[in-house]
Structure 1
Amino acid sequence: MALKQLKKLLFDRPLKDGVILNNQYKIEECLGMGGYGLVYVCTDVLTQTPYVLKQLRPTKAKKQKERVRFQQEIGLLKSISHPQIPAYIEDFIIDGQAYYVMQMIEGDNIEELLFFQKQPFTELMALQLMSQLLDIVEYLHERLIFHSDIRTPNIMMNHGNVCLIDFGLAKQLSREEDEELELRKRDDFFDLGETLLFLLYSQYKGKKKKNATWLEELTLTKEVTLLLKKLLGIEEEYQHTASIREDLNRAIQSVT
C-alpha cells in the first residue's frame, strides 16, 4: 500500500500553472485530484474563455482498463445536452496522456455553502433545490444514465440554478442489464435523500443527541418525512422518478 501511494506521489503530480496544452488551454490551477483523474481550471488562450480540464492520472493511464473507462466517461459526456450539466468541449491525447475539456460552471457547491459558509436552507428552499436536481436526474434516467455520485460537492449553485457535475462514476446501461439498472437507480435515489437531509439539517439548532435519528431531531411535515423515508429506503422505495416528483410536489405544498 505504501509503495502504491509513493508511486502516486511521484507520477501523479499536477501540471504546473502556466502550462499550455494542445496549443490552446493554459493551466491556471489544479482544483483537485480524484481517484483516477486530476481536474484543473484552464483558459482558452484564443478566446480567454475559462474551462475545466480533466486529466487521467498518469499511473492509471498505464492500464488499458483505465484508459477505456476514461474514454467511456468522455463518450457519456458527449451524449449529454442539458443546461444544468457541464457541456463537453473536446478531448485529446498528448504524449500518451489523455485529457478532456468541459464547460466551467461558476458558483459554489452545496458542501461549500453548508459547511464553510454556514448557509441555512429552509424546508421550502431545500425542496425547491431538490426539484431542480430531480429535473436533472429525470433527464439522465430517461437515457438510462446513472450518476452514482450525487453528493454535496458535486452539486453547484449557479445564479440560483442547480447544476450537477463530476460524471467520473456515471454509467449508461442497456435495458437488458436489469439488476445493475435497478441498483444504480436506487443509489441515485438514496443520494437524493441524503442530500435533502443535509439541507434540512442546516436549520437544526438543537444539540446532537447520541444515537438520535433525524426522525427525532427534525420537525418536518408528514409529506416531507414520507419523501425522505422512501428516498432513503426506510419505507417502500421509489421505482421511478415520476413517483418522486409526485411526492416532492406534495411536500412543497405542505410547507407553503
Structure 2
Amino acid sequence: MALKQLKKLFFDRPLKDSVILNHHYRIEECLGMGGYGLVYLCTDVHTQTPYVLKQLRPTKAKKEKERVRFQQEMKLLKSIHHPQIPAFIEDFIIDGQAYYVMQLIEGENIEELLFFQKQPFTELMALQLLSQLLGIVEYLHDRFIFHSDIRTPNIIINDGRLCLIDFGLAKQLTPEETEEIKVRKQDDFFDLGETLLFLLYSQYKGKKKKNGTWLEELTLTNEITLLLKKLLGIDEEYQHTAFIREDLNRAIQSVT
C-alpha cells in the first residue's frame, strides 16, 4: 500500500502553474486531486476566458479500462446541454495524457456555505434550492443519466442559482438495465434528501442529542417530513421524479 501511494505521488504530480496545453490553455492552479483525475483552473490565452480542465491521472491512464471510463465520462458530458450543468468545451491528448475542458461555474459550493461560513437557510430557501436541484435531476433521469454523487461540495450557488458539477461517477444506462436503474435512481433520490437535511439543519440551534435523529431534533411541517422520509427511504420510496415534484410543491406551500 505504501509503495502504491508513493507511485501516485511521483507519477500523479499536478501540472505546474503557467504550463500551456494544446497551445490554448494556461494552467493557473490545481483545484483538486481525486482518486481518478486532477482538476485545474485554466485560462484560454487567446480570449482570457477561465475554464476548468480535467486530466486523467497518469497512473490511471496506463490501464485500458480507466482510459475507456474517461472516454465514457467525456461522451456523457458532451450529450448534456443544461444551463445548470457545466458545458463541455473540448478534449485532447498530449503525450498520451487525456484531458478535457469544461465551463467554469462561478460561485460557492453548499459545503463551504454550511460548514465554513455557517450560512443559515430558511425552510423556504432550502425547499426552493431543492426544487432547482430536482429540476436538474429530472433532466438527467429523463435521459437515463444518474449522477451518483449529489453531495454538498458538488452543488454550487451563484446569486441564488444552483448548479450541479462533477460527473466523474455519473453513468448513462439503457432502458433495459432496469435493476441498475432502480438502484442508481434511489441513490440520487437519497442524495436529494440528505442535501435537504443539511440545509434544514443550518438553522438548528438546539443541542444535538447523542442518539437523536432529525425527526426528534427538527420541527418541520408534515409535508416536509413526508418528503424527507420518502427521499431517505424511511417510508415507501419514490419511483419517479414527478412524484417528488408533487410532494415538494406541497412542502413549499406548507411554509409560505
CA distance in 1, matches of 2:160, 2:130: 12
Q: Is 1:143 aligned to residue 120 of structure 2?
A: no
- Number of aligned residue pairs: 256
Which residue of structure 1 aligns with residue 213 of structure 2? 213
Which residue of structure 2 aligns with residue 103 of structure 1? 103
Which residue of structure 1 aligns with residue 61 of structure 2? 61
* Unpaired stretches in structure 1, ≥5 consecutive residues: none
Which residue of structure 1 aligns with residue 189 of structure 2? 189
Deviations 1:92-127 (A, max 9, x none): 000010000000000000001000111000000000
CA distance in 2, matches of 1:204, 1:213: 13
CA distance in 2, matches of 1:3, 1:146: 35
Q: For residue 152 of structure 2, what is the amino acid of its counterpart?
A: T
Runs of 4+, deviation exceeding 2 Å: none
CA distance in 1, matches of 2:7, 2:248: 47
CA distance in 1, matches of 2:160, 2:224: 22
> Considering only aligned residues, what root-mean-square deviation do their CA atoms show, in Å?
0.4
Q: For residue 110 of structure 2, what is the amino acid of its counterpart?
A: I
Residue pairs, 1:37-116, within 5 angstroms: 37-116=37-116
Deviations 1:12-71 (A, max 9, x none): 100000000000000000000111000000000010000000000000000000000000
Q: Percent identity, aligned pairs only?
A: 86
Residue pairs, 1:5-44, within 5 angstroms: 5-44=5-44
Deviations 1:144-199 (A, max 9, x none): 00000000000000221100000000000001101001000000000000000000
Secondary structure of the corresponding residue to residue 219 of structure 2: coil
Q: For residue 141 of structure 1, what is the amino acid of its counterpart?
A: H
Q: For residue 189 of structure 1, what is the amino acid of its counterpart?
A: F
- Deviation of residue 2 (structure 1)? 1.1
Q: For residue 168 of structure 1, what is the amino acid of its counterpart?
A: G
TM-score (norm 2): 1.00
Q: For residue 119 of structure 1, what is the amino acid of its counterpart?
A: Q
- Deviation of residue 4 (structure 1)? 1.1
Secondary structure of the corresponding residue to residue 54 of structure 2: strand
Q: For residue 250 of structure 2, what is the amino acid of its counterpart?
A: R
Residue pairs, 1:147-158, within 5 angstroms: 147-158=147-158
Q: For residue 250 of structure 1, what is the amino acid of its counterpart?
A: R
